Amino acid sequence: MRLSTSLLIILTSVLCAATSLPAQTLGEYWDTAEEEAKYYKIVEIPMPEDAAIEAGSFEVLPDDRLAIGTRRGDILLVEGAFDRFPQPTYKRFASGLDEVMGMSFKDGAFYITQQTEVTKITDEDDDGLADHFRTLSDAWGFRNYHEFAFGSKLDPEGNIWVALCLSKSYQSDEPFRGWCVKVTPDGNTIPICSGIRSPGGIGPNEHGVMFYAESQGPWNGSCSLKVLQPGGFMGHPASFRWYDLAENLEKPSVEPNTRSRLLTERKRVKELVPYAVVFPYIKMGRSISGFMVDRTGGRFGPFENQIFVGDFSLSVMMRATTEKINGVWQGACYPFREGLATGLLACQFTPRGDLIVGGTNRGWPVRGPREFAIQRLDWTGIVPFEIKQINALPDGFRVTFTEPVDPTTASQTDSYRLSTFTHVYQQGYGSPEVDQTTPAVTDAIVSPDGLSVQLKIDGLVQGHVHEFDLAPIRSAEGGKLVHVNAYYTLNEIP
C-alpha cells in the first residue's frame, strides 16, 4: 500500500509541476557549497542500519534528548544527537500515528499534530513508552493523501496552530481543508483564517507572530512565508465553503479574479493577506518547508533572531527576515547552505546552538541523494561575509552586512544591481516572473562602522520582489560575499 501511494504522489507531482529543474541544478545549487563549508559544516547523525527514519518534526526534551516525529508514525527518543561527534542511541516511544508533522513537549506530555488530529501523549506508568493518547482536536476532515496537517509548537498560551492542506491542490473536499485552526489546551478548536493551499511548516516569525510556509501552485506564483492573520484570507478561495462552520469569522464578500496581480486584488478583497516573503521559484527553493528562529544567543553565528527555512525539493537551507510596514508584513530571503542529503521537512536548534535538519524523499523527487537523513549544521566559529539583512526605507533600502564593507566599493552606485518582478495571481499552477523593471541606485551611503549601506533608489515598485545582486561588494579586508543575492518583497513602501 505504501508503494502504490508513493507512486501516485510522484506521478501527481510530475503532472502538476509548473517547471522542471534547470540543468544547472544537477550539480551544486548556488555553487557555494565549498565556501559555505568553511563557516557551517554538515555533521551526520547516524541512524540504526535497519531503520527508515523520515523526520517530520523535532523537539528538544528537558533532559537534552532529541525527540523525532516521523512520517511513518513513530516518536523516537535519541540520546547523543547533540554530541560533537554523535554516536546516538534510539528508543521508540510511540508508534501507530499518522505523519507526525508537529511536536511539542511540556510538563511530561507530548503534544503532536498528525494528519487527522492533535494528540496529547503521556507515559502514565513511567516505563519509557507511551500508553495514554488523548485527542485534543479532530475538527477537520481527512480522505486524501495530499491532506497534510502541520502543527506549531505550543504558543505562549499553550495553543497549537494547525495549517491544513487542501485536498488536491485545487479542492477543499473536507471541513476546514485549506484553513488554519488554533487548538487550545482544553481542546477547543478556533478557526483562524482561510485560503491556505499546501503548507510546509508553521511557527512564529522573529517577532513572535505566527506564520506558515506556503508552496508554489494554484493562486501562488512562488513559495512564500505568510502571516496567519486572524480573519484573513491567504489567497486560495477553494476553502470558502467552510465559513458556515466558522461562527467567529465572516466570509469575504468577493472572491479574487484570476490572472490578476496580488496588489490589484488586495484592493478588491480586503481580507486578502499578501505574501510576506516570496522565495523566487528555483532561485530560492521549490517547496519550502519547516522553519525556526535562531534564539541561540550568537552560538549559531551572526544571524540571531532570523528565520531559518528548509526546502524539500532542493535540499537547501535559507534565511529570512521580516518587518511590519504600514501594518503589513514583508521582508527578504537569503541563501544559506546547500548540499544537504535529502528533502528537508523539519529543523530544530539544539542546546549547543547547532541546527538539526531532516526529512525524506518519499512522495516527490528531491535533489538530495538519500531516501532519508538526519544531519546537523554546526557553526565553525568563523563569521562569513554575508548580506545580513535588508530593510525598507521611504526612498530605498538599508543593507546590513555581517562584516564591515570596503567603503570604496560599497559607496559606488554601480556595485548594486537591482531588478524587480511580480507574479500572475491566478487559479493556474504557479506563475512566471512578470512585469519586470530595473530601478536605479542613485546614492549609496556607508555607515561610519561600515556594517550597513543606505541605498537611495529611483524606481521602487510596490508589490514587487526586489532582487539584489551585490557581486562587486568587498569586505574591508577584501573578501567576497559568500552569497551575492537577496530578494525583498516590497508590499508597502514606508
Q: Where are the alpha helices (DSSP H) in 126-201?
A: none
Asked if 366 contacts 342 with a C-beta cutoff of 8 angstroms, the reply is yes
Is residue 438 assigned to a domain? yes
Same-domain check for residues 407 and 336: no
Of 356, 358, 354, nearest in space to 301 by CA? 354
CATH number at residue 347: 2.120.10.30
Q: Do 323 and 456 sit in the same domain of this protein?
A: no
The three-state secondary structure class of 9 is helix
Co-location of 90 and 197 in the same domain:
yes
Burial of 7 (0-12, 13-18, 19+ CB in 10 A): exposed
- What pLDDT score does 145 carry? 86
Instruction: Indicate whether 74 and 201 sit together in one domain.
Output: yes
pLDDT given at position 54: 98
pLDDT in tens, 205-243: 999 999 999 999 999 999 999 999 999 999 999 999 999
Helix (H) or strand (E) holding 4: helix 2-16
Looking at the structure, do residues 453 and 369 belong to the same domain, yes or no? no
* C-alpha cell, 434: 512578470
Q: Tell me, what's the pLDDT at 28? A: 59
Asked if residue 212 lies in contact with residue 202, where contact means CB atoms within 8 angstroms, the answer is yes
User: Are residues 354 and 218 part of one domain?
Assistant: yes
Whether residue 297 sits in one domain with residue 413: no
Residues of the chain scoring pLDDT < 70: 1-28
- Judgement on whether residues 152 and 48 belong to the same structural domain of the protein: yes
Q: Which residues contact 14 (CB under 8 A, 6 or more apart)?
A: none
Query: What is the rounded distance in angstroms from the CA atom of residue 441 to the CA atom of residue 461?
Result: 13
CA 43 to chain centre: 22
Q: Do 342 and 425 belong to one domain?
A: no
Please report whether residue 22 resides in a domain: no
Whether 391 and 374 share a structural domain: no
Q: 391 and 356: one domain?
A: no
Give the domain range for residue 411: 387-490
Look up residue 317 and give its three cell numbers: 537551507
Domain count, the chain: 2
What local confidence, expressed as pLDDT, does residue 410 receive?
98
pLDDT for residue 393:
98
Q: What values do phi and psi take at 16, rounded to 5? A: -90, -15
For residue 33, being part of any structural domain is answered with: no
